[in-house]
Structure 1
Amino acid sequence: MTENFDAIIIGAGQAGPPLAGRLTGAGMRVALIERKLFGGTCVNTGCMPTKTLVASAYAAHLARRSAEYGIMIESPISIDMKRVKARAETVSTNARTNLEKWLRSMDGLTVIEGHARFEGPDTVRAGERLLRSPRVFINVGGRANIPDMPGVGTVSYLTNTSILQLDTLPRHLVVIGGSYIGLEFAQMYRRFGAEVTIVEKGPRLISREDEDVSDAIRDILVDEGITVRTDATCIGFKPHTEGVSVDVDCTSGDPAVVGSHVLLAIGRRPNTEDLGLDRAGVAMDQRGYIRVDDTLATNVPSIWALGDCNGRGAFTHTAYNDFEIVAANLLDDASRKVSERLLGYALYIDPPLGRVGMTEAEARGSSRRILVSKRPMTRVGRAIEKGETKGFIKLVADAETKKILGAAILGTGGDEAIHGILDMMNVDAVYPDLQWAVPIHPTVSELIPTVIGDLRPSD
């Protein structure tokens, strides 16, 4: 027997549950199907557990530096990895449990646990249940990408998901991939006490950022004892008596590195291959991402795709914003578009990197006449008082329109301070308006008006 609903949501990640709340609040009868863990990547294997681990690693780092602050702690400190793991699990479990309780108590919502597969553009099967609806919303997220590198199938390796199950400290963690996920795990495990090597195929870390940002981040990691191997042109894997031998073949240094554990942190891929999208006629690109237009609608009029599976954003906040766009357009008679979204994001090493808008390199390539200003964190009172002065603040602006084009804040509190810039850009304000703000002292944000005052033509 076919069950009829006003809407079907596939996936209980960041976009699905709030969408269920809005749709049921509008009087719709909704089915939400989740095949594994409520909360998606962020709650279970992403933001929440990893930032909990980052916090534990930061505590260990401060403990080692305690004498600098006049606090004497017996050295060397010890790390209880079982308690570290348990703390992260508790944070995730509590969030997942609370989310599931909220969904199951929602009037008008039917929660179904099972694997959803399309049988047509308006028909979805979940186990023995057959559901039909004029509206279907796909929110299935993504997972770690496992590239076809030589020997990868012959060795044991970790992903961002499986590494969370470790309750012992790796002797030597080799991280393959010098981007956001890899760098966060590299620093946290170094602070827990492991030897760590980062292997990056490209010439520098986080290549999407400006070169000065990449160089500063590399210096921060190297200063903590992490080995960084860039230009790794021939990455491969072989079993070794001590774990895994990783072929690097860099322009300098040993041609191979032996680690007890290997973490593959080389991008993500969407969870779309087993949804029966072909039966619904939904178009995908070559990487498996669902094609959507500026309103997140697919080529099938009754189907939308939200979150990581649509390739239009790779963050929790962009997935949530996908929900906001869809809900506003369907229920509030709005005309919101993905292209209007101003992307901000952060890298959660310590100190963190907060980013919004264009890089300096992108601005230079845009044919604009640009202004640039940069100040080291050694000029920020808050950073000096905390003893955390690594990094810098950089702004890029359009000389003619006086609009801020982008910013990078690499330094203590950078992930929070960047919102002062992000908010100005969102309301399309000119930078002189921010220059005359009176920020609170002592904060990181208080230097932003000063940095704006130093904007100068770029060479």
Structure 2
Amino acid sequence: MKYDAIVIGSGQAGTPLSKKLAAAGMKTALIEKRWVGGTCVNDGCSPTKAMISSAKLAWSVANSEKLGIHVGGYTVDLHEILERKNEIVLRMRGNSEKGILETENLDLIYGTATFTGEKEITVKLNTGETQVLSADKFFLNVGEQPSIPEIEGIEKIEYLTSTSIMELQEIPEHLVIIGSGYIALEFGQMYRRFGSKVTILEQSERILHREDEDIADEIVRIFKEEDIEIITDCRVELIKKEGDNIALFLGVDETAKNISCSHVLVAAGRKPNTADLSLDITGVEMNEKGYIKVNDKLETSKEGIYALGDVKGGAAFTHIAYDDYRIIQKNVIEKGNASIKDRLVPYCMFIDPQLGRVGMTEQEAKESGKKIIVATIPNTSVARSIETADTRGMMKAVIDADSGKILGVSVLAAEGGEVVTILQMAMIGGVTYEQIKNGVFAHPTYAESLNNLFMTLDK
């Protein structure tokens, strides 16, 4: 069957793009091998944040006495938490699928796509049959999956991934997490608050290399307050089953160490879902890790084939995938000239307190040779934090010394993702730190603390 456009993957770029292409008069097919909505809807953003909300409430109840509220006790019902999470996922997935099916000129096909020609795919349908499809244009939004490190014995245990852990029907007695990135930290804190003992293993000398060291150190301090163990300079050399438990044999700073636990979560990175595509047939170039190479307009090395979202490498966030869709829409449908060059990449890690980030870190700014000034403030100096009895964390802004414009921000605080968005708007508009310092903001809000953040530069 011949189409004008084929979209492979129904994630946060593929779904709106397929609908927009069809609405523009292009006969379009959307291929999805699992569930509509991609990682975000099914086992990423929405389900994890739903469960994190339950964990936050558990922490709030456990820490309510400092606000004068005395709770006699509470229990964590994981089955009810999972039921709520699943209801949210099914509702979002169903709404997305309904929107696709109601779109004229758009065919939704469930199956696994493999290129069998430069502009031809064979789809092994989930029903067991096959279809051969061709198109003038292809849009690849196939995403990523958890990457499993080569550790002796790992294949002999039932390890968890970021996908399978959300179907776990019991709270782990002791959860060991291999890796200390954003996924690891979110799940680690969540299950600690559900009642698990949690140990996080990191092979480098510190966690979160993409963040400034002072931010990473503050997160470590916050996690230690919750009795979450973080072991750095740690190599997992052997894993094996020992009765009902799992034994991990470690090398920690040249010293042997053993840990026995009930569950292991592997959160040591992700890899692109390009293995099934047979892209070598198309002439589409990939890097050594299997990510698809694209230019600033998301075009691959093969004319008429584009890549969107996580599969192209770089920042792997839902909002970036959605912006990729907008770039393609502008260029392919509206014949525009949009580009991903120099776009801001905000993100929020939903540990508690949240880490909101946008722009350059202090270490990145120094490496670039820029002349900078840096403003920092602990949340112990923020009125709203004091009033809510949660003074954990800090705020930090990196500023161009010559222009006074903001280069980057880190906000480790309650609602850090919301606060950082205010400063992202300032960056978009070219607002200087002095304008924010002298701005009038409602009292007492977290936003008002931005006055205080930049007042620290007056000293």
Q: Which residue of 1 aligns with 2:294?
A: 292
| Counterpart-to-counterpart distance in 2, 1:31 and 1:201 | 44
Name the SS of the counterpart of 1:28 in structure 2. coil
Alignment of 1:230-245 (within 5 A): 230-245=232-247
Letter in 2 for 1:286: E
Larger CA deviation: 423-432 vs 183-192: 423-432
Letter in 1 for 2:375: S
Q: Which residue of 2 aligns with 1:31?
A: 29
Q: Residues 98 and 153 (structure 1 numbering): CA distance in 2 closer, same or farther, change over 3 Å?
A: same
Q: Residues 245 and 423 (structure 1 numbering): CA distance in 2 closer, same or farther, change over 3 Å?
A: same
Check conservation: 2:144, 2:273, Cα contact below 8 A: yes
Residue 434 of structure 1: how far off its partner (Å):
2.7
Q: Which residue of 1 aligns with 2:127?
A: none
Alignment of 1:34-433 (within 5 A): 34-75=32-73, 77-127=74-124, 128-251=130-253, 255-433=257-435
Check conservation: 1:242, 1:259, Cα contact below 8 A: no
Name the SS of the counterpart of 2:234 in structure 1. coil
Residue 445 of structure 1: how far off its partner (Å):
1.3
| Counterpart-to-counterpart distance in 2, 1:420 and 1:333 | 32
Check conservation: 1:371, 1:456, Cα contact below 8 A: no
Residue 439 (str. 1) matches residue 437 (str. 2):
no
| Counterpart-to-counterpart distance in 2, 1:116 and 1:455 | 56
Larger CA deviation: 143-152 vs 20-29: 20-29
**1:143-169 deviation line (CA, Å, top 9, x unaligned):** 000011222122220000010111211
Letter in 1 for 2:192: R
Letter in 1 for 2:259: V
Residue 244 of structure 1: how far off its partner (Å):
1.1
**1:182-209 deviation line (CA, Å, top 9, x unaligned):** 0000000000001110111111111211
Letter in 2 for 1:403: K
Letter in 2 for 1:409: V
Letter in 1 for 2:239: F
Residue 113 of structure 1: how far off its partner (Å):
0.9
| Counterpart-to-counterpart distance in 1, 2:90 and 2:165 | 17
Larger CA deviation: 419-428 vs 138-147: 419-428
Letter in 1 for 2:34: K
Residue 283 of structure 1: how far off its partner (Å):
1.0
| Counterpart-to-counterpart distance in 2, 1:47 and 1:160 | 11
Check conservation: 2:236, 2:248, Cα contact below 8 A: no
Q: Which residue of 1 aligns with 2:450?
A: 448
| Counterpart-to-counterpart distance in 2, 1:108 and 1:427 | 40
| Counterpart-to-counterpart distance in 1, 2:349 and 2:258 | 28
Check conservation: 2:249, 2:256, Cα contact below 8 A: no
**1:95-116 deviation line (CA, Å, top 9, x unaligned):** 1111001101111111111111
Q: Residues 254 and 62 (structure 1 numbering): CA distance in 2 closer, same or farther, change over 3 Å?
A: farther
Check conservation: 1:245, 1:258, Cα contact below 8 A: yes
| C-alpha RMSD over aligned residues | 1.6
Residue 7 (str. 1) matches residue 5 (str. 2):
yes
Name the SS of the counterpart of 1:424 in structure 2. helix
Residue 248 of structure 1: how far off its partner (Å):
2.3
Residue 448 of structure 1: how far off its partner (Å):
1.1
Check conservation: 1:346, 1:355, Cα contact below 8 A: yes
Residues paired across the two proteins, number: 454
Residue 125 of structure 1: how far off its partner (Å):
1.8
| Counterpart-to-counterpart distance in 1, 2:172 and 2:61 | 20
Check conservation: 2:439, 2:451, Cα contact below 8 A: yes
Check conservation: 1:431, 1:452, Cα contact below 8 A: yes
Residue 32 of structure 1: how far off its partner (Å):
0.5
Name the SS of the counterpart of 2:271 in structure 1. strand
Check conservation: 1:42, 1:48, Cα contact below 8 A: yes
Letter in 1 for 2:221: D
**1:391-428 deviation line (CA, Å, top 9, x unaligned):** 11111111112221111000111111000111121233
Check conservation: 1:172, 1:195, Cα contact below 8 A: yes
Q: Residues 238 and 456 (structure 1 numbering): CA distance in 2 closer, same or farther, change over 3 Å?
A: farther
| Counterpart-to-counterpart distance in 2, 1:430 and 1:336 | 27
The runs of 5 or more residues in structure 1 that have no matched partner are none
Residue 284 of structure 1: how far off its partner (Å):
0.8
| Counterpart-to-counterpart distance in 2, 1:151 and 1:4 | 47
Letter in 1 for 2:429: V
Check conservation: 2:189, 2:223, Cα contact below 8 A: yes
Letter in 2 for 1:126: V
Larger CA deviation: 442-451 vs 272-281: 442-451
Residue 278 of structure 1: how far off its partner (Å):
1.4
**1:215-253 deviation line (CA, Å, top 9, x unaligned):** 100011110011111110344312222421112221398
Q: Residues 124 and 340 (structure 1 numbering): CA distance in 2 closer, same or farther, change over 3 Å?
A: same
Residue 340 of structure 1: how far off its partner (Å):
2.4
| Counterpart-to-counterpart distance in 2, 1:449 and 1:70 | 30
Check conservation: 2:176, 2:261, Cα contact below 8 A: yes
Q: Residues 387 and 235 (structure 1 numbering): CA distance in 2 closer, same or farther, change over 3 Å?
A: farther
| Counterpart-to-counterpart distance in 2, 1:293 and 1:236 | 41
| Counterpart-to-counterpart distance in 1, 2:333 and 2:222 | 47
Residue 53 of structure 1: how far off its partner (Å):
0.8
Taking structure 2 as the reference length, the TM-score comes to 0.96
Q: Residues 431 and 134 (structure 1 numbering): CA distance in 2 closer, same or farther, change over 3 Å?
A: same
The runs of 5 or more residues in structure 2 that have no matched partner are 125-129
Letter in 1 for 2:248: V
